[in-house]
Structures are given as structure tokens and as C-alpha cells.
Amino acid sequence: MQVTFTQHALARMADRGISRAEVLATLEHPLRTIDVQNGRQEAQGWIERMGRRQLLRVIYENGVVVMVVTVMATSKIEKYGVQP
């Protein structure tokens, strides 16, 4: 899978301390994938932060090349319909 990152995604990753490896792992083996706005998709996966499990949300556009639009980690797991 070929993956590119928007400048926005790279900036959010740097701000939030999310590595490329974490994003790629989530894209390759998502907990689940859902459709979101504007024909984009969201891959969800788990990451560990300070001994706590968080939900990693990767918003991307799919085609021949996957373009990561933005990423975020949240501890509000139930808000996104995921069971811990």
C-alpha cells in the first residue's frame, strides 16, 4: 500500500505525538473502517499513551494511493462507538 500524507496530517501528527508507524499500522490492520464526510474514510485502531489505551482515528481518501488527511488520538472511546 502506498501512503502519502497531507501537510495538515503531518502537522497534526507532530503536534499530537503520533508516529508514521502507528498510522500505517492502523491503515493496514484497522479495528474498523467507517465512511465519513466528502467520500473519505476513517480507520480506527489502538495506541498506547502513558500506559492508557487510546483510539487512533486516521481520516483518509482511498484510491490507488491512500492519502492521509488528518489523524487524532482520543480517550473518548465510547463516543466513537468502539467498545474498549
Architecture of domain 3-80: Roll (3.10)
Q: What is the pLDDT along the chain (84 residues), one digit of tens a residue?
A: 788 888 888 998 998 889 999 999 999 999 999 998 888 888 999 988 888 888 898 999 876 546 777 777 777 777 777 766
Q: How far is CA 72 from CA 26, 64, 65, in A?
A: 12, 24, 21
Domain segments of the chain as ranges: 3-80
- Spell out where the chain has E strands: 3-5, 32-35, 41-49, 52-61, 66-74
pTM here? 0.80
